[in-house]
Structure 1
Amino acid sequence: MSTASAAASSNEFVDFWNDILVPKFTKYRHILVGGLTHHSENIFPKLEIRPGDKAVDVGCGFGDTAIQLARRVGPEGSVLGIDCCDAFLEFGRADAKAEGVGNVTFVESDVQSYPFEPQHDFCFSRFGTQFFENPVAGLRSMRSSLKPGGIMTMIVWRTIDDNPWLGMPKQVILQHLPPPGEDARTCGPGPFSMAGQEMVTKQLEIAGYDDIQFERIDAPLMVGNSLDDAVNFQLALGPAGEVYREAGDQAIAKHDEIVAALKSDLGKHLTDEGVVLESSSWKIRARNPL
C-alpha cells in the first residue's frame, strides 16, 4: 500500500483539527466510527461504483470507508483517501495493512487545494465536507478529481433539530453555561453547515455539478457504551463539547452539576447496547457533467 504524503494547507481550521480534535476523536473512535457507519452502510450497496473504478474518499478520517471502497473496486481499481489529519490516516494505513487491502493510498492534505487529476470515476465523503472553509471551493476541487460523467456522493448531517444525539446535550449544557463567543476557535463552518437542501444545491451548481439528488437517512446512533462514556463524549466533542470547552473556568466550576444534568437526560436513552439516540443525514449525489 502506498503511503504518500502531501503538505496540508495551513489555515486555522486545519490547525484546530490537529491541535484540539485529533486526540478527542481518537479517544472516541469507537463511537465516531461505529455510529457513523449506520449512515454509510445504508447507502453503500447503492453507490454508483464498479469493480475496476478509481475513487476518492474526501475527509476520510480513520479510513474505514476508504477501505470499504477499496474492497468494492477490487484489485483492478484504486482508492485515494484524503484527510487534513495524518494522525487519523495512520489508523487507516494500519487497518488496510492488517486486512490485506493494498489498493488504497492515504494522503494528508487540504482537499480545497489538492491538485487532483480528472481521472477518477467516483468521489465519496462521509461527513467530511461540512467543515470546508470555503464549501464551493472544496466541492469544486472534488469535482476536479472526476472524469466527465463521474459521480460524487457525500453524506452530511441534517439540522441539529433532526439530530438529538447532538442537539439535546447542547440544550442541557446551555442551561448552565453561556454560548461560545464570536472569537471561539472552531473546526470550520460546523457539522450542520450543509443541512439546507436549497443552499447546498446552489453550492453544488456553482461548483459545476449537475443531476443533483437528495435522499434522507435516519438511523439510531450509539453515543456511549455506558452512561459515563456518553457524558464524557458530549463534554469532549460536538456542539455541547464546544460550549463546555469555551466556557473555561465556568465549566470547571459547574462540572458536577452539568454531569448530573447530562446523566439525567442521556439516561433516558440507555439501552442494553449503550446510550442510543436518533440521528438524521442527507445522502447527496451529483454528477460531473459529460
Structure 2
Amino acid sequence: MALDRSEDTEFVKFWNSVLEPKFTKYRHILQGGLSRHSAAVLPKLPIEAGMAVLDVGCGWGDLSLQIAERVGPEGRVVGIDCVEAFLKEARADAKEAGFANVEFRRGDAEIALPENEFDYVVSRFGTMFFTNPVAALRRMRLALKPGGQMTHIVWRRREDNPAWQTAKDIALRHLPPPGEDADTCGPGPFSMGNPEMVETMMKSAGYEDVSFTRVDEKIMVGTTPDECIAFALAIGPAGEVFREAGEELAEAKRADIEDEMRRFFESQERNEAGIWVPTSSWVISARNPA
C-alpha cells in the first residue's frame, strides 16, 4: 500500500525525492563518518537498561540499534525519520539483528512527536536541518518525561569542517551561490555551529543545564579521489551549489571544479580504507525540567 504523502511539507518532499537516492548511494560514507562522532560520546551518555529512548532523524537506524542494545529487552527505542526509504533499511537491519525492542516510524519532528513518553531523546546530525529549530527542539523536550535528558550532535563552524566546507569553497570559485529560493535540505549543516546562539535556542525551547562537548574526528569521504569528488558534488554544501547552478552551467564548469577538488583530496590523509578529512562537532546535552 502506497504511503499518503499529501500532507508532507516541501522540505520532506525534497528529502524523499531529491536527496534520498543520493544519500542511499553514499550510505557507506555517510553512516561510517557520522557514526565516528556518535561513537565518541555514546558510551558516556547516561542511557541505562530499561529506558525508553527516542532517536530523532534516525536515518538508517544504526544509532537506534546501538541504543536498543544498551537499554536491553526491558527498554525500548523509537526511531523517527521523514524518509521512508531510510526506515525500510532500518527495519530490515533491526529484523536481521534480532532486535524486538526498537520501532521505526515515519514522521516529521517539526510537526509532531509523542509527548511525555521518553527518558532520553537523541539526534545525530538532524537538528541543524530544522526550519523552525526552537519549535522543533521544544517538541523534542515535550517528548521527554519530566527530568528526562536529551543529546543532539551538530556540526561546528564551517571553518572547522574542511570535509564539507572546502569542497563548497572550490565549487563557489567556479559557480554562483544558490539563491534565496533554492531547494535545500534546510538551514544548512552549520546552522547550529555557534554555541551561544544554540544555547539561547535550547533555553527558549525550555531546556535546563545545557552543555557543549567538542568532538574532532577525521572521516572517510571516499575510497578514491574520484569517489570523493562524486560524493562532494552529490551531497552537502558543494552538491547544493552544483545542483542549483543549473545543469548547463554546472557541466560547463565540471572539469575545472573536479581538477581543483582532486588536488585537495589527494593532499589529504589516505590509507587502505580511503581518504580521510577532518570534521568537528558539538555534542549538546540538556535536561527537561522535573
1:236 aligns with 2:234: yes
Q: Which residue of 1 aligns with 2:123?
A: 125
Deviation at 1:28, TM superposition (A): 0.3
5 Å matches for 1:127-166? 127-166=125-164
Name the amino acid aligned to 2:82: C
Q: CA deviation at 1:254?
A: 1.6
State the Cα RMSD in Å. Answer: 1.4
Indicate which of 178, 185, 188 corresponds to 2:186: 188
- Aligned partner letter, 2:217: A
Give the letter for the 1:112 counterpart: E
Q: How many residues align?
A: 286
Deviation at 1:270, TM superposition (A): 4.8
Counterpart in the other structure of 2:252 = 253
Q: Match of 1:176?
A: 174
Structure 1: unaligned runs, 5 residues or longer: none
Confirm or deny: 8 A CA contact 1:8 1:84 kept in the other structure.
no
- Partner AA of 1:196 in structure 2: N
In structure 1, give the amino acid aligned to 2:146. Answer: P
Q: Deviations over 1:187-234 (max 9, x none)?
A: 111111111111111111111100111000000011001111101000
The answer for the alignment partner of 1:289 in structure 2 is 289
Q: How far apart are the structure 2 equivalents of 1:166 and 1:184? A: 19
Residue equivalent to 1:211: 209
Query: 1:127, 1:164 → 2: CA distance?
Result: 16
Change (3 A) 1:203 1:7: farther
Deviations 1:241-269 (Å, cap 9, x if unpaired)?
A: 11111111111112122111111111111
Contact (CA 8 Å) 1:172, 1:261: kept in 2 or not?
yes
Provide, for residues 85-133 of structure 1, a one-character-per-residue CA deviation record: whole Å limited to 9, x for no partner.
Answer: 1111111101111111111100001012224130210000000111111
Distance in 2, Cα, partners of 1:142 & 1:27: 30
Is the contact made by 2:178 and 2:240 (CA closer than 8 Å) also made in structure 1?
yes
Give % identity. 53
Give the letter for the 1:282 counterpart.
W
How far off its partner does 1:134 sit? Answer: 0.6
Q: Aligned runs of 1:11-30 on 2, under 5 Å? A: 11-30=9-28
Q: Which residue of 1 aligns with 2:59?
A: 61
Distance 1:22 1:209 in 2: 32
Q: Distance in 1 between matches of 2:136 and 2:31?
A: 23
- The whole-number CA distance in structure 2 between the counterparts of 1:89 and 1:117 is 21
Change (3 A) 1:8 1:26: farther
Q: In the aligned structure 2, how far is the partner of 1:92 from the partner of 1:34?
A: 15
CA contact (8 A) 2:113 2:140 kept: no
Contact 1:159–1:192 (8 Å) recurs in 2: yes
Deviations 1:139-187 (A, max 9, x none): 0110111111100000000011010001111111111111111111111
**Kept after mapping to 2: 8 A contact 1:8/1:108:** no
- Aligned partners of 2:255 and 2:170: how far apart in 1? 13
Equivalent residues in 2 for 1:83-122, closer than 5 Å: 83-122=81-120
- Alignment gaps of 5+ in structure 2: none
* 1:140 and 1:208 in contact (8 A); partners too: yes
Task: Out of 256-265 and 119-128, give the one that drifted further.
Answer: 256-265
Kept in 2, the 8 Å contact 1:7–1:108? The answer is no
1:275 offset after TM fit, Å?
1.3
Deviation >6 Å, runs of 4+: 5-8
